[in-house]
Structure 1
Amino acid sequence: MGASQWRYTVVHRDDVGAALRQLRQEVYDRGEYYRESPDVDLDLTEEEFRAGLDPREDDDGLTEAIIEDWRERRRRPVPVDPDTLVAAQPHSGTHSIIDMVNGVSHRPGFATVSPLTSEELINAFGRTTPSADQVEEWMKAGGSPRERWVGSYVISYHDGRPGHIHFHGYSGD
């Protein structure tokens, strides 16, 4: 499937981590994320699943590897919130801000959002206090050149005061 770009804008608050947590919950509640299709094999008992495998195709223990993978998938949680959703589909992700399970960091890192540096802000906007319109255009044009699963955020300004927090990134496989 490949990664998906996501971008969100929320009203500024001093606690970016709290803003991120609230946004992740809101996106989950609205259902605005990728959800893997139900796997009907997981409704089977292990005996039923084993019966569907062809023992003639068991080269080098392949059948046991298939069964162990099936067991691992059955152990995944049923999604009831953003974190259990990510745990339920660890290989695909949600293709949304929900994938930023490690919160906010000062530096770019896996499954986190971090601010652009002053240099990155100047390169992108010509100043360190961009307007909301500038940030929105930047995000629409592709935003941060960070790797997949590494999000960013930018605080935009209105009349010299923080106005919004803009979250941007790419995630999902």
Structure 2
Amino acid sequence: MGASGWEYYVPYQKDVAAALEELQARVFREQDYYWSGDHPLSEDDPVPRPATIEELWEDEGVQEEGTHSILDMDRVLRPGEHPRVGAVRPVHPDEACRLTGTDVLTREHIEVIEALVEEGWSGRVAVLHDGAGRPSELYFWGISGD
């Protein structure tokens, strides 16, 4: 199948890890992720979607292929932590300034900052601001799945 890019906008909140958990719960609830059981080898052998995220990750296909969504990320990195597979890394103000000339990002900067995701199985998160410069949204984006 190959890797897939994904992106989500959520209302701003200071606790980015909590925002990630809420987003993942929503994506799971809305079934907005790839599930190999939706494509059974035989129409006579449908596989029901899991009832919980934990059950989802017990599935061998999901462990190998992922969900091609934010569900493939397991945490938000703290400042100073090195990037790693399955983690969302916040955009640092220095990165934002280098790419856009400002650390007060808006939706108009999305196309430029999307290049910050360079590897599969990783994600980023940026605080987006309204016209008055106040934080208004969190933008999560990344690449995952095989």
Structure 1 gap ranges (5+): 44-77
1:111-150 to structure 2, matched below 5 A, reads: 111-135=86-110, 137-138=111-112, 142-150=114-122
1:90 pairs, out of 63, 67, 84, with 63
Q: Do 1:143 and 1:168's aligned partners in 2 also have CA atoms closer than 8 Å?
A: no
Q: CA RMSD in A?
A: 2.0
Change in CA separation of 1:123 and 1:81 when aligned onto 2, cut-off 3 Å: farther
Q: Between 90-99 and 147-156, report the one with greater CA deviation.
A: 147-156
| Corresponding residue number in structure 2 for 1:60 | none
**TM-score where L is the length of structure 2:** 0.81
Question: 1:99-114 alignment to 2 at 5 Å?
Answer: 99-101=72-74, 103-106=75-78, 107=81, 108-114=83-89
Task: Determine the C-alpha separation between the residues in 2 that align with 1:9 and 1:118.
Answer: 19
Could you list the runs of 5+ residues in structure 2 that have no partner in the other structure? none
Structure 2 Cα separation of the partners of residues 138 and 83 of structure 1? 35
Greater Rg by CA: 1
Q: 1:166 maps to what in 2?
A: 139
Q: Identity, % of aligned pairs? A: 34
The letter of the residue matching 2:138 is I
Matched-pair contact (CA < 8 Å) for 1:100–1:111 = yes
Name the SS for the 2:66 alignment partner.
Answer: coil
In structure 1, give the amino acid aligned to 2:19.
A
TM-score, length of structure 1 as denominator length: 0.69
Alpha-carbon distance in 2 for matches of 1:17, 1:160: 22
| Cα distance in 2 between the residues matched to 1:116 and 1:130 | 10
Q: 2:54 & 2:86 partners in 1: Cα distance?
A: 12
Aligned positions of 1:31-42 closer than 5 A? 31-37=31-37, 38=40
Q: Distance in 1 between matches of 2:71 and 2:96?
A: 25
Instruction: Summarize the Cα distance change of 1:129–1:100 in structure 2 as closer, same or farther, 3 Å threshold.
Output: same
Where does residue 67 of structure 1 map in the other structure?
none
The 1:83–1:147 alpha-carbon spacing in structure 2 relative to 1, beyond 3 Å, is farther
More helix by share: 1
* Deviation for aligned residue 1:134: 1.9
- Distance in 1 between the 2:87 and 2:9 partners? 16
Q: CA contact under 8 A between 1:132 and 1:164: conserved in structure 2?
A: no
Between 16-25 and 113-122, the greater mean CA deviation after superposition = 113-122
